[in-house]
């Protein structure tokens, strides 16, 4: 699928959004640790006045984020793990505010932090939802706990709401700019598909998940047949239009978890996590038949595909790619417009050869 393709999932509708959540968690890990230590020290120092019970809430919040670190890279829905942790933190903070003075609680401004975390990781609609939830919980833990004191002295409440708007808007603007530059770095500008820069980091995660679950992973290596002739006879503009149409059709045909990459020129790679050889072959045949009927820019265009599959511990990018590449070469050699499946033995030999080459390079 394209990084920008809609999948119908509200929190992360595109693979780029999901990558942003995972990367956001990794980038703020050290900062979050420093902030947590600072909060812990502040609670410990304030406990004689506020109450020792606040350390219980802090311990729960710490366990919450330890759980995030444990699950964020292994869960098929890391955005749910991240969002749930932020909501739990917000709820713990609201409980702490309610029981430590309500509208006069020294912890009231801390309720800004979870929304800032959301702005650093999620798209605008999710940020707005987090803002609404934060405001509701702020009002419940202040006006809902002690309305008379709140209206008698609303200065801290007003300052917290203003701080919430200011911090979230700043983080939002910075992350929007970062996401724009990230998109330019990881997306192929012609087709909108992921480029090589994102392939290996994402495949490392897929490999980890496959080895934990014992699930298969398949690679489809696709090449547009006789593409050089299209460029030579019709010009590069026409060739670019053909590639755009093919990429668009790939996005339409693939499901949300099936990932398409443009490797360069007329070559595409499709990663099928959790898909075995038989189902991957059906997908490959469907793509081949679709492209045969597509007629991009009015031209008859076909593709050839090489397929390789690994299972559990045998999932290895270099070996799978080499086996798929050899299968693609066979498809080209035997007439084009066809799918060739690498045998399990060929895949194992390719993986062993890749390991040997890696060892030679290391030596």
pLDDT digits (tens, 9 = 90+) for 114-125: 998 888 888 888
pTM confidence score: 0.54
Q: Where are the alpha helices (DSSP H) in 187-276?
A: 196-213, 227-234, 236-253
Task: Give phi and psi for 223, each to the nearest 5.
Answer: -140, 135
pLDDT for the residue numbered 2: 45
23's torsion region: left (phi>0), alpha (psi -120 to 50) or beta?
alpha
Mean pLDDT of 195-221: 89
Query: CA 263, CA 186: separation in Å to the nearest integer?
Result: 12
pLDDT for the residue numbered 342: 92
**Average pLDDT along the chain:** 85
Task: Give phi and psi for 303, each to the nearest 5.
Answer: -130, 155
User: DSSP letters of 284-332?
Assistant: HHHHHHHHHHH-GGG----EEEEEEEEEGGG--HHHHHHHHHHHHHHHH
Q: Are 124 and 179 in contact (CB under 8 A)?
A: no
Domains and CATH numbers, the chain: 15-186 (no CATH), 196-362 (3.30.70.270)
- Return the C-alpha torsion angle 283, 284, 290, 292, nearest 10: -170
Q: Tell me the three state secondary structure of residue 261.
A: strand
Mean pLDDT of 199-220: 90
Band (240; pLDDT cuts 50, 70, 90): very high
Short-list 119, 101, 29, CA closest to 65: 29
Q: Are 92 and 140 in contact (CB under 8 A)?
A: no
Band (185; pLDDT cuts 50, 70, 90): low
The token pair that represents 196 in the structure block: 């090589």
pLDDT for the residue numbered 175: 72
Mean pLDDT of 236-259: 90
Least confident of 98-102, 196-200, 275-279: 196-200
Least confident of 7-11, 264-268, 319-323: 7-11
Cα–Cα distance list, 183 to 179, 195, 206 (Å): 6, 10, 21
pLDDT for the residue numbered 5: 46
pLDDT for the residue numbered 87: 92
Mean pLDDT of 41-67: 83
Query: CA 255, CA 248: separation in Å to the nearest integer?
Result: 13
Q: Which residues pair with 219 in a beta bridge?
A: 271, 308
The yes-or-no verdict on residue 288 having pLDDT over 90 is: yes
The token pair that represents 149 in the structure block: 């004191």
pLDDT for the residue numbered 163: 94
Q: How many CA atoms lie within 13 A of 118 on its CB side?
A: 30
Query: CA 164, CA 13: separation in Å to the nearest integer?
Result: 26
Task: Give phi and psi for 22, each to the nearest 5.
Answer: -65, -45
């Amino acid at each position: 699928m394209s990084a920008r393709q809609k999948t119908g999932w509200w929190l992360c509708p595109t693979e780029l959004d999901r990558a942003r959540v995972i990367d956001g968690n990794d980038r703020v890990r050290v900062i979050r640790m420093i902030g947590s230590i600072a909060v812990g020290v502040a609670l410990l120092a304030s406990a004689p006045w506020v109450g020792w019970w606040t350390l219980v809430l802090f311990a729960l919040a710490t366990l919450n984020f330890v759980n995030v670190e444990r699950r964020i890279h292994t869960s098929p829905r890391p955005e749910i793990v991240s969002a749930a942790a932020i909501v739990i933190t917000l709820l713990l903070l609201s409980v702490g505010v309610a029981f430590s003075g309500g509208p006069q609680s020294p912890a009231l401004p801390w309720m800004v932090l979870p929304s800032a975390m959301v702005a650093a990781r999620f798209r605008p609609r999710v940020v707005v939802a987090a803002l609404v939830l934060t405001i509701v919980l702020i009002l419940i833990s202040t006006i809902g706990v002690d309305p008379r004191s709140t209206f008698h002295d609303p200065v801290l409440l007003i300052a917290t709401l203003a701080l919430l708007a200011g911090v979230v808007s700043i983080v939002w603007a910075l992350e929007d700019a970062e996401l724009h530059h990230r998109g330019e770095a990881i997306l192929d500008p012609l087709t909108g598909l992921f480029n090589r820069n994102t392939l290996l980091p994402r495949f490392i995660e897929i490999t980890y998940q496959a080895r934990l679950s014992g699930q298969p992973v398949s690679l489809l290596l696709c090449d547009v047949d006789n593409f050089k002739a299209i460029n030579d006879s019709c010009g590069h503009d026409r060739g670019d239009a053909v590639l755009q149409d093919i990429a668009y059709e790939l996005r339409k045909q693939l499901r949300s978890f099936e990932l398409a990459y443009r490797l360069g020129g007329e070559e595409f790679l499709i990663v099928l996590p959790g898909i075995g050889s038989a189902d991957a072959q059906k997908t490959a045949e469907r793509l081949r038949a679709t492209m045969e009927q597509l007629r991009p820019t009015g031209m008859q265009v076909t593709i050839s595909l090489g397929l390789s599959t690994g299972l559990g511990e045998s999932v290895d990018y270099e070996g799978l790619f080499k086996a798929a590449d050899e299968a693609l070469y066979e498809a080209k050699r035997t007439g084009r417009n066809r799918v060739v499946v690498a045998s399990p033995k060929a895949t194992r030999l390719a993986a062993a050869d890749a390991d040997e080459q890696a060892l030679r390079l290391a030596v």
